Amino acid sequence: MATDKSSFQLVINGILNENPIFRLVLSMCPAVGISTTVMNGLMLGIAVLFVQVFSSVTIAIFKNVIHPRIRIPTYTLTIATWVTVIDMVLAAYLPEAYAKMGIFVKLIVAFAIITMRLEMFASKESVDASFWDGIGMGLGFMAGMVALGFVRELLGLGTLLGYDVLGFQPLLFFVLPFAGFFVVGLMMGFFNYIEVVYKRSKARQA
């Protein structure tokens, strides 16, 4: 089963139609736990993007030699390998970024979204398509995290990217872990509503 989507459609698919956070509702632990500020969301997003792309491509290359009964351990092994390598490369060549991103990178081994993408997409599709799917999923995750971080940082701390914009802290509630569920839920509802409105207007035109 090969996908008939173009590379551009695959990227857009990851960001909109199958957004990991708002549509697939995967990897909710980091989404709720870490998206307290825009910067945190962005850092984790970048880290996920790299791991997703590398792992997707690796699995797409080796998909024919992976025994179906041990595919999940193989995926985990692949992800862990890339996480370790990226961790080492960051520590060696980008020490300043590593100081901020280090703990996020190590967390990624257990992310559901990456394993799920390897199982659903990379293990069936070509290397090329898997690469673009990885980019789309990574960007979609990053976009979701930044959007969550934006709302929570602004409403919880009154700052954006660490800069004081409001001058006061409106509701500290929003940076606490459980508020992540509320923000994710409300934003998911909001995006679903936009989709409904969009489809209705399209149907009316037709």
Partner 1 sequence: MKEIFTIVFRLTVSCLLAGLVMGAGLMLTDKAKQRNEHAHEQQVMLSLLGYSKANPPPAELELHEIYRYVVEGADQLSVAYLLPVPEGFTFVNIGLDGNFLNQVPVALSEENVVKPADRGSAILAALGSGKSIRFVDQTIIVTRGASRMAYLLPGEFPGFKTFIKVILAVAPDFTVLGLEIMEHEEDPGLGGEIVKDYFKGQFEGKSFATLRTLDVTKRPIPDEYRRALESEKSDLGENEIGEIRRLYQDKDIYALTGATISSKAVTNGVKAIVKKFAYRISVLDRVLAEEEIDVSF
Binding site for partner 1 (CB under 8 A): 65-67, 69-70, 73-74, 77-78, 80-81, 84-85, 88-89, 91-93, 95, 103
Smallest separation, CB 51 to partner 1 (Å)? 14
60 vs 143, beta carbon nearer partner 1: 60
Q: For residues 93 and 178, which CB has a smaller minimum distance to partner 1 in the complex? A: 93
Smallest separation, CB 81 to partner 1 (Å)? 4
CB-nearer residue toward partner 1: 89 or 197: 89
Does residue 90 come out as left (phi exceeding 0), alpha (psi in the -120 to 50 range) or beta? alpha
User: What is the residue whose two structure tokens read 């909109």?
Assistant: 16
Q: Which is nearer to partner 1, 2 or 92 (CB)?
A: 92
Distances (CA, A) of 53 to 29, 106, 118: 21, 16, 10
In the complex, the smallest distance separating the C-beta of residue 92 from partner 1, rounded to whole angstroms, is 4
Residue placing its CB nearer to partner 1 in the complex, 4 or 96: 96
Nearest to 131 by CA among 11, 2, 4: 11
Shortest Cβ 35–partner 1 spacing (Å): 15
Q: What is the DSSP string of 106-117?
A: HHGGG-HHHHHH
Neighbour tally for 182: CB within 10 Å: 13
> C-beta of 171: minimal distance to partner 1 in Å?
20
Q: Which is nearer to partner 1, 73 or 170 (CB)?
A: 73
Q: How far is the CB of 55 from partner 1 (least distance, A)?
A: 12
